[in-house]
Structure 1
Amino acid sequence: MTYSKFFTLLAAMAGSIWAVDAQAASHSLLFEAPLVSPKDSLKPGAVQLTPEELALLVEIIPNEPDEVIADRLSCLDSEIPLVFNNYVRNFIDYFTIRNRKYTRTMLQRENVYFPLFEKYLKKYDMPDELKYLSIVESGLSPKAQSPVGAAGLWQFMKPTGREYGLEQTSFTDERLDPEKSTDAAMRFLRRLHKYYDGDWELALAAYNCGQGNVNKAIRRAGGGKKTFWEIFPYLPRETRGYVPSMTAVRYAMNYAGEHNIFSDSILYAPQVDYLEVTQAMDLEKLAWELHLTPGELMALNPEITKTKLPDQKNNYKLRVPANRAALLASAADKRCILMAAAPVAPQPKPQETPVMLAAVKKEAEPATETEATSSLEKTTYTVQRGDNLTQIAQRHNVTIEQLKEWNNLASNKLMPEQKLQLLQPAQAAEPVVSTPVVLASNKTTTKETPAKQIVQPQEQLIHHVQPGDTLWQISRKYNGIPVEQIKKLNNLKDNAIKPGQKLILS
């Protein structure tokens, strides 16, 4: 199915078997070149070691005999044959000796994708060990691309991807979608397994090089030879290393500890929720609204190839972090997010009549530092035992940065009974708005009325910015007024707002 450069190199390497001295110690330090001192490394012909190679000087790398490795393989529960020979041993040495870093990386990533693979393997009643095939194919990288055009965790070529329902447009490539491509890969492997009468090794070979090449190798072998190892010499060079590398990967992942291979960090799949996109979407703006970087949002949706989704992508299910989706508690909130992230169409101006609001529409200007400060009151907080800046900031709806600035704090360290200065919004008088009084002569005059008494659709709605406020929070407080609309009404060029600033909301 794929012609991976990685396994072309492995297959070439497999031609020369790693020679192991039968009398060698069971544990040794292995080097492919004579060691030289830093001073000698500058001499002509001297071998210079990379930092990674220098680290191997103190790393004990077990060099296990064939009998031990064969015994360990026999202990693995498997529906797919685990043949052990010199060819397979060469690949095992690659993953446990020569490229230990690759195996560490796979140990780091396995918990991100294996639960997903296991879900679909169970759905289609297929062997659990097939989850290791994605390591052979892509190194557990959903964005992996091969030189010949295969892509994704399961390295689908474009025609095969389309055959199994993986959409490919100028905006999305579902070969890169972990879930959809996994489902497609299981269906493809199941079909190959059935075609080759239950022979998993031939099914894997066909997944790599195609049914045509496997069938050709069977014909060339002649005499009724139909197993992988019987037709081995007649398979493409890369495919000859494909099934052995699958066995080697399974060994390396299951016995990494016995070879002193450990990962210093383990990754897990993030918890996600789905946001149904119903209109054109600017993902960079959406990421900002969700307090994410565009890269973080795109990483959750690797199948999306551009930062904008067109109208044709109606009802597209976009992954967002579950802890951000909690902000979108209702369908109305989700629509608000979509409206904020999508371009806002210009609103037609209503026709003016004598009975319309006669108050002058004044564009709000950003508050100056003096105006912002004058609307705040200083309060003092006494630090209690067990307090920290995060708790205090959340309790008073301010940020840690503000606490540090107001109190000239150089660090996050606090002492019991320490006094902290806080700036809190002053109690403002009820806003006064102008409401129309219609006279018999159709001339409109105004009188001052407290806002709470009369609410007209044409009234200006004003919000006084409080410490910690963001445009998104303000939007949610006022029934989902789009953030872009707030910015337009107040001539805001960006999302920065200051405490005490007055924002026109309608």
Structure 2
Amino acid sequence: MTYIRLFTVLAAIAGSFWALSAQATNYSRFNEYPSATDTLKSKTDTITLSPEELALLVEYIPNEPNDVIQDRLSCIESEIPLEFNNFVRSHIDYFTIRNRKYSRMMLTRHNVYFPLFERYLQKYNMPQELKYLAIVESGLKPTAKSHAAAVGLWQFISSTGREYGLDQNKYVDERMDPEKSTDAALRFLRRLYNTYGDWELAMAAYNCGPGNVNKAIRKAGGGKKTFWEIFPYLPRETRSYVPNMTAVIYMMHYASEHNIFSDSILYEPQIAHLEVKQALNLEKLAEELHISPDQLMALNPELKKREIPEHMRNYKLRIPAERAQLLASVSDKDCILLAAAPYEAPVEEPAKSPVLLASSKTEKEPEIKNTDNAAVASEKVVYTVKRGDNLTAIANRHNVTIEQLKDWNNLRGSAINYGQQLTVHQPASAPVVLLASNKEQPESATTKTTTAKAAPEKKVQQDQLIYHVQPGDTLWNISQRYNGISVEQIKKLNRLKTNNIKPGQKLILS
């Protein structure tokens, strides 16, 4: 019994190598695989194989006869005709023999987008098989671009995209928005089907345009109105378009019968929508949400830059669903959005220090004179440039201007290098000026004495800390600079309805 089992194992191994060698010879006609004689290089009894050659021999690639392929196609339930002929067979061989890597990739990606496609196909009451058209168009890559400048999962050219409401500008290209482009593509296909009453002709028109399809119908005699009847008169690329669709549908249904399996399966991401009503720096937002900027951009492939400008109000930004809890409360959301606001270039003017004013609500604030000429003690600080630094960020960090940095360090341009040391002058202590609330200033020592004696008879009003807003300031960083006061307290003290502030504006901080 042992000898019989050993003989069976040896026979099976020998048979497998014989079959694989024969297949390698057969597939050499596709110019993709070397022949068995080229693969098996042997000078002695030892066979030496490269990793690629070994992988070729190990992978079993079935070569099914035509009647099996045709029978399998007939078993697929489809509203779209799945015609079988030698031309279709050559496309099936492409996906099951010559480009198996591409087929594995489609098996990996399809669960990311097919649920979205299926929802919209059901919405418009269209055949579910049309979801496979996105594989033919883009390989399920939302940022795909063709040589003809077609873009996205459904490969819209610019003019057709705009016709179906897909916005394209400096910041966004909605042809790469999976949801909006899917909705637009299905509306376009439904319109073409209503024109021709045939899904194969609708797909052909989607590829080459209704004008070319109409021209092919006229050349075919006018009475012939199916894809295969007008096949010879269609553009060359369109002649392969519908057969490609049939081959993709076959491959996605029978990949396992051709020994094609995915190494990993991706799934539709769980997302939440953040309605954006202000300018945002997406790298800073990603940091606040504790995700990578690349992950945030992958959820929003239609965005061309890592920022959302002020004019794109009410933009629905996709974020991971599990991060939505960070924005659950209004205060947390306001703080995160405030922290994600883009940097503003500082205005080139000397920074002003906060001034403590004792004033009455009914009196006009006294004008501060000659404060710019006052001698303020300062100290020199040496700052070492870090990775990612620029003059704007360094100036904001030290509350100085870019021109001051350039002047102190003899810089002609704005270029700085990692590790470079910059001199920065900082105030030794923030000057605070206490001004009397009376409009008339004391003129002599006698006047001062008289005023001092009269003071106890009047109720002394509480002092107010007034802060002059500097370029680049936000309510958040002001609240961090002055401990003990929150953003909401600043807004309440100054009767602010929004978080917007402007350079030169005066804020009450106490």
Which bin holds the TM-score, normalised by the shorter protein? 0.5 to 0.7
Which residue identity does 1:98 align to in structure 2?
Answer: R
2:228 matched to which residue of 1? Answer: 229
Matches of 1:227 and 1:348, distance apart in 2:
78
Find the partner of 1:29 among 9, 19, 23.
Answer: 23
2:128 is equivalent to residue 128 of structure 1 = yes
Q: Does the CA-based 8 Å contact 1:28-1:61 persist in structure 2?
A: no
Q: Does the CA-based 8 Å contact 1:221-1:230 persist in structure 2?
A: yes
1:447 matched to which residue of 2? Answer: none
CA RMSD in angstroms comes to: 3.8
Which residue identity does 1:353 align to in structure 2?
Answer: L
Find the partner of 1:353 among 357, 368, 371.
Answer: 357
Matches of 1:38 and 1:73, distance apart in 2:
35
How far has the Cα of 1:330 moved from its partner? 2.2
1:63 matched to which residue of 2? Answer: 63
Matches of 1:489 and 1:353, distance apart in 2:
17
How far has the Cα of 1:353 moved from its partner? 1.6
How far has the Cα of 1:269 moved from its partner? 1.5
Q: Does the CA-based 8 Å contact 2:166-2:173 persist in structure 1?
A: yes
1:209 matched to which residue of 2? Answer: 208
Matches within 5 A, 1:164-313: 164-196=164-196, 198-222=197-221, 224-313=223-312
Which residue identity does 2:356 align to in structure 1?
Answer: E
1:139 matched to which residue of 2? Answer: 139
Which residue identity does 1:251 align to in structure 2?
Answer: Y
Q: Does the CA-based 8 Å contact 2:357-2:464 persist in structure 1?
A: no
C-alpha distance 35-334 of structure 1, shift in aligned 2 (>3 A)? same
Tell me the TM-score normalized by structure 2: 0.63
Which residue identity does 2:83 align to in structure 1?
Answer: V
Q: Does the CA-based 8 Å contact 1:26-1:65 persist in structure 2?
A: no
Which residue identity does 1:276 align to in structure 2?
Answer: E
How far has the Cα of 1:291 moved from its partner? 1.3
Unaligned runs of 5+ in 2: 1-17, 29-33, 43-47, 361-380, 382-433, 438-450, 456-462, 467-473, 484-508
1:108 matched to which residue of 2? Answer: 108
Matches of 2:49 and 2:153, distance apart in 1:
33
Q: Does the CA-based 8 Å contact 1:27-1:62 persist in structure 2?
A: no
Q: Over residues 325-349 of structure 1, what are the superposed CA-to-partner deviations in whole Å (9 max), with x where a residue is unaligned?
A: 1111123322222111103678997
Which residue identity does 1:219 align to in structure 2?
Answer: R
1:318 matched to which residue of 2? Answer: 317
Figure out how many residues of one structure are paired with residues of the other and give that number. 356
1:418 matched to which residue of 2? Answer: none
How far has the Cα of 1:206 moved from its partner? 0.3
C-alpha distance 233-333 of structure 1, shift in aligned 2 (>3 A)? same
Q: Does the CA-based 8 Å contact 2:39-2:49 persist in structure 1?
A: no
C-alpha distance 219-488 of structure 1, shift in aligned 2 (>3 A)? farther
How far has the Cα of 1:225 moved from its partner? 1.2
Q: Over residues 357-399 of structure 1, what are the superposed CA-to-partner deviations in whole Å (9 max), with x where a residue is unaligned?
A: xxxxxxxx9xxxxxxxxxxxxxxxxxxxxxxxxxxxxxxxxxx
How far has the Cα of 1:153 moved from its partner? 0.3
Matches of 2:84 and 2:158, distance apart in 1:
34
How far has the Cα of 1:218 moved from its partner? 0.7
Matches of 1:442 and 1:292, distance apart in 2:
64
Unaligned runs of 5+ in 1: 1-23, 42-47, 357-364, 366-435, 445-455, 460-479, 491-504
Q: Does the CA-based 8 Å contact 1:61-1:259 persist in structure 2?
A: yes
Q: Does the CA-based 8 Å contact 1:232-1:240 persist in structure 2?
A: yes
1:498 matched to which residue of 2? Answer: none
How far has the Cα of 1:276 moved from its partner? 1.2
SS of the equivalent of 1:62 reads coil
Matches of 1:231 and 1:26, distance apart in 2:
41
Matches of 2:294 and 2:50, distance apart in 1:
31
Matches of 1:301 and 1:99, distance apart in 2:
30
How far has the Cα of 1:39 moved from its partner? 10
Tell me the TM-score normalized by structure 1: 0.64
Matches of 1:169 and 1:54, distance apart in 2:
50
Which residue identity does 2:23 align to in structure 1?
Answer: L
C-alpha distance 40-334 of structure 1, shift in aligned 2 (>3 A)? same
Q: Does the CA-based 8 Å contact 2:20-2:57 persist in structure 1?
A: no
Matches of 1:349 and 1:228, distance apart in 2:
78
Q: Does the CA-based 8 Å contact 2:177-2:300 persist in structure 1?
A: yes
Q: Over residues 137-173 of structure 1, what are the superposed CA-to-partner deviations in whole Å (9 max), with x where a residue is unaligned?
A: 0000000000110000000000000000000001000
Matches of 2:80 and 2:218, distance apart in 1:
23
